[in-house]
A and B are shown apart, each in its own frame.
Chain A
Amino acid sequence: EIVMTQSPATLSVSPGERATLSCRASQSVSSNLAWYQQKPGQAPRLLIYGASTRATGIPARFSGSGSGTEFTLTISSLQSEDFAVYYCQQYNNWPPLYTFGQGTKLEIK
């Protein structure tokens, strides 16, 4: 099983500032990496797939980068609605065994 490790567990950032979230895979997942945003009481929402491609309707302030084992999600200028928990997920296995990171909580500083 590929283990996904996210850091930090909690990130405190002020509105308008940049946030950088990290995700590391225990072995290479190529670019088969997605990011999701989850707000309290809601289902996760797909933000990024293929490590760097924004999903439909996702604002340009969200960007993803990386390949292999190291990935980053950057939110360039935090809006109030961006404070949430973010999960990375790899989809590199066959047969499929999709795994998620434990999440990074992005909170208002």
Chain B
Amino acid sequence: QLQLQESGSGLVKPSQTLSLTCAVSGGSISSGGYSWSWIRQPPGKGLEWIGYIYHSGSTYYNPSLKSRVTISVDRSKNQFSLKLSSVTAADTAVYYCAREGSMAVFDYWGQGTLVTVSS
């Protein structure tokens, strides 16, 4: 059974960089046909797709965040990462990692990690 687990700093100061990692177990992140996404959810609000990295290493980002986002993969550790720079309070959210399966929908999710932006 595929499992995803987010980790990283839960508190980030304004203007700094948010960094999160998603460890994948029960399957290889290099398996063809899948992409690996970050999605966030501000407290009490809806879901926003941040971007993904394809198994080949190609990345696609939400244009609203593109200038601040970097998603990368570490195949040796079977994990992928998110960096979001110049954060503000508006970036406070639960951040989820998820797999986009062969049907182009999010079929496996991590449990989510709350990141708070505050001084």
Contact = CB atoms under 8 A, between A and B. Distances in A.
Contact of B107 (A1, A46, A89): A46
A43 interface: yes
B6 to A, nearest CB: 10
B109 to A, nearest CB: 4
Interface of A: 1, 32, 34, 36, 42-46, 49-50, 53, 55, 87, 89, 91, 95-103
Nearest to A102: B46
B46 A50 contact: no
Nearest to B50: A98
A99 B49 contact: yes
A43 B47 contact: no
Contacts of A98: 49
Contact of B105 (A34, A43, A95): A34
A96 B49 CA distance: 10
Nearest to B112: A43
Contacts of A97: 49, 62-63
B36 interface: no
Interface of B: 45-49, 52, 60, 62-63, 96, 98, 103-107, 109-112
A35 B105 CA distance: 9
Nearest 10 A/B pairs, CB to CB? A43-B109, A98-B49, A100-B47, A34-B105, A49-B105, A102-B46, A91-B104, A49-B103, A96-B60, A46-B107
A89 B96 contact: no
Residue in B45, B46, B105, B106 with the greatest tally of chain A CB atoms within 10 Å: B105
Q: Which interface residue of A32, A45, A96, A97 has the most chain B CB atoms within 10 A?
A: A96
A18 to B, nearest CB: 25
A87 B107 contact: no
A7 to B, nearest CB: 14
Contact of A103 (B46, B105, B107, B109): B46
B96 A43 contact: yes
Nearest to A4: B46
A43 B107 contact: no
